[in-house]
Structure 1
Amino acid sequence: MRDVAELAGVSVGTVSNVLNRPDIVRAVTVERVHAAIKQLGFVRNDAARQLRAGRSTTIGLVVLDVRNPFFTDVARGAEDEAARDGLSVVMANSDRSPEREAAHVDYFETQRVLGLLISPIGDLGERLERLRGAGTPAVLVDRVAGSRSLSSVAVDDVEGGRIAAQHLLDLGRRQLAFVGGPADLAQMQDRLAGVERAAAGVEGASVEAIETLGLSFEDGRRAARALLARHAPDRPDALVAGNDLVAIGALQVLMGEGHLRVPEDVAIVGYDDIDFASAAVVPLSSVRQPRDLIGQTAVQILREEAEDPSLAPRNLVFKPELVIRESTAGRA
């Protein structure tokens, strides 16, 4: 900054004002300082500036699986909201590994981020409460907080599973299967519970839980191949998938390798309503989550808690919506 000030013929304080409060500096001076910055290739040290100010402009975001378009849409919503206040979002991928998740949380803490958004693998309540106590707020994303000391933004996954299953039951399907996993993931447990709740009220209806190792296209393909290995009467006539990737993977195998008709032989409902859902070979019925809105709302809460640590935690739960397409609509 001294070099810039010398070249521009102004004080170091004026350079600081140009960088931080240009509205109080004459336009001709701002132009001269920026010309000096460009000539010298000056880049200010934001780490030092934030340390002096005692406030970061970075938000950490830890997601379960960066390959899942659901999380990229959440991240996009978070970035859009953060950008309105001159903040940035840095995303890290836990890949459902507790060790990687812990390392990311530790890293963001050492970097003194403004706050942390996280879609946790298990129960991180105690760890995040300590983080909050040290001055770094944390908001759970796509997960309802089990503790009253943490804020969260999520969707009612029990209701999402219920409306998916109820749609299939209303179409006359009775042998339902829930395909998703791992089984210890809270979102999968809630979605399965919703499917079971809907089936419990219909005579003759059954629900089979088919656990997958993950929530990728290949996990859906493997599950579908296992179903094709069964005798036809032992196969479900409807699937509720843990997410759209699993649903599309299953759809590809059931139709391509099994030569089954969708929805005539088996109806399929996905979850998340990602862009791929409507573009599948048979457009996929899916439970829609407000993905961008989840990210935006999480940043809003985080920013407010960073500005006022005395705010009581909030737990916002959005209602899901069923979008009906050809993967279920062909049979009344």
Structure 2
Amino acid sequence: MAEATRDRVRAAIQELGFVRNESARRLRQGPRRSSDRRAGSPRPRAFGIVVEDLTNPYAADVARGAELTLNDAGHDALWLSSDHSAGKESRNLEMLVEHQAAGALVVPVGLDQAGIDRLRASSGMAVVLIDHAGPDVCSAQVDHVAGGDIAAGHLLALGHERLAFVTGGPAPRPVVERGEGAARTLAKAGGGELRTLTQRALSPTEGRAAAQRLLAMSPTPTGVFCANDLLAIGLINELLRLGVSVPGEIAVVGYDDIELAASSAVPLTTIRQPRLAVGEEAAELALAEWSEGDSHMHRQVILTPELVQREST
């Protein structure tokens, strides 16, 4: 191209505010082959980490665990939030394709196996699910049914027979599984049905609202299992404000063991998830799939939560 022509192109680009369309460029080049990945790249590659809500301390810890593992392997990490929206999740993934990301680690909202297959076919990206599983995809997840078992079993062992499960909607599958585990344990003990309070979100504000609803129940539950620590902390704060003793009148168990759990008004008994480890395992799976290409065998890694007992029970 002549220099005069280059100058005219540069001027047009500057005037129009043109941004290169990576998707179009990739269509001209064709998808990356497995051999290309194994041969290496002249620059570090980025992996996307797509979670539901980056303001949630649990999600941030998972993303951090993944990022540290990716950085150790010489790659960058892009943190993205779907905000519980399948549409925004899809846009996040499209952006990763446009920027030639090597892979995506996803807490899925709307992404299914067909979507995963399309991503692989169009871009060659490695795809790993976090806290979900699929028939033909790597995943790193926690046994949330076991977590619910542990929480309900702890309250039953302390003599609490009237139990409630406080959750938020629309509840993602891992949260549903926590309630299922608690209900199963209560049924095995012959304790009847687990009473469920569904709030609008998994937040401290909704935890405070749940406390009001809890006290209006007749008879009032004496043991409460909250779907996450944020709900539990809000619930405890409101109970204390209303003059209810925790754990004297109502014992509370949370889930996640975020940093705030140990320093809440009444230090919170909770089910600890190996948050950093979930992210680390997901990153290792993504790195393996990206480097191994077509020879990669998908694996599902399942981690076990544990009880951390504090003053709220």
TM-score (norm 2): 0.83
The answer to whether the 8 Å contact 1:223/1:250 transfers is: yes
Aligned position for 2:17: none
Q: Taking structure 1 as reference, are residues 244 and 184 closer, same or farther at Cα in structure 2, changes over 3 Å only? A: closer
- The amino acid that maps onto 1:261 is S
Q: Relative CO higher for 1 or 2, CA cutoff 8 Å, sep ≥ 6?
A: 2
The answer to whether the 8 Å contact 1:241/1:268 transfers is: yes
Aligned position for 1:99: 87
Matching of residue 308 in structure 1 with residue 292 in structure 2:
yes
Matching of residue 128 in structure 1 with residue 112 in structure 2:
no
Aligned position for 1:66: 54
Matching of residue 321 in structure 1 with residue 310 in structure 2:
no
- The amino acid that maps onto 1:129 is D
Q: 1:56, CA displacement in angstroms?
A: 5.8
- Where do 1:228-243 residues align within 5 Å? 228=215, 230=216, 233-243=218-228
Q: 1:123, CA displacement in angstroms?
A: 5.0
| Candidates 208, 228, 231, aligned match of 1:246 | 231
Aligned position for 1:224: 211
The answer to whether the 8 Å contact 1:212/1:219 transfers is: yes
Q: 1:234, CA displacement in angstroms?
A: 2.5
- The amino acid that maps onto 1:64 is E
Matching of residue 284 in structure 1 with residue 271 in structure 2:
no
- The amino acid that maps onto 2:247 is P
Report the Cα distance in structure 2 between the residues aligned to 1:167 and 1:220, rounded to whole angstroms: 21
Q: 1:54, CA displacement in angstroms?
A: 8.2
| Candidates 92, 117, 131, aligned match of 1:142 | 131
- The amino acid that maps onto 1:287 is I
TM-score (norm 1): 0.79
CA deviation map 1:21-58 (0-9, x unaligned)? xxxxxxxxxxxxxxxxxxxxxxxxxx99xx99487610
Report the Cα distance in structure 2 between the residues aligned to 1:54 and 1:150, rounded to whole angstroms: 28
The answer to whether the 8 Å contact 1:148/1:313 transfers is: no
Contiguous gaps of at least 5 residues in structure 1: 1-46
Report the Cα distance in structure 2 between the residues aligned to 1:252 and 1:65, rounded to whole angstroms: 23
The answer to whether the 8 Å contact 1:175/1:206 transfers is: no
Deviates more, 1:209-218 or 1:246-255: 209-218
Contiguous gaps of at least 5 residues in structure 2: 1-21, 26-31
Q: What secondary structure does 1:327 align onto?
A: coil
- The amino acid that maps onto 1:279 is S
Report the Cα distance in structure 2 between the residues aligned to 1:283 and 1:261, rounded to whole angstroms: 13
| Candidates 184, 193, 200, aligned match of 1:197 | 184
Q: 1:204, CA displacement in angstroms?
A: 3.5
CA deviation map 1:273-327 (0-9, x unaligned)? 0111111111101101111111111111101100112211111100110111110
Identity among equivalent positions (%) equals 37
Report the Cα distance in structure 1 between the residues aligned to 2:287 and 2:191, rounded to whole angstroms: 50
The answer to whether the 8 Å contact 1:78/1:292 transfers is: yes
CA deviation map 1:65-108 (0-9, x unaligned)? 11110011111111111111211111111111121111111111
Q: 1:206, CA displacement in angstroms?
A: 3.4
Matching of residue 209 in structure 1 with residue 193 in structure 2:
no
Q: What secondary structure does 2:83 align onto?
A: coil
Report the Cα distance in structure 1 between the residues aligned to 2:235 and 2:44, rounded to whole angstroms: 44
- The amino acid that maps onto 1:239 is V
Instruction: Give RMSD over aligned pairs.
Output: 2.0
- Structure 1 runs (4+) deviating above 4 angstroms are 51-56
Q: Taking structure 1 as reference, are residues 54 and 114 closer, same or farther at Cα in structure 2, changes over 3 Å only? A: farther
Q: Which has the larger radius of gyration?
A: 1
The answer to whether the 8 Å contact 2:140/2:278 transfers is: yes
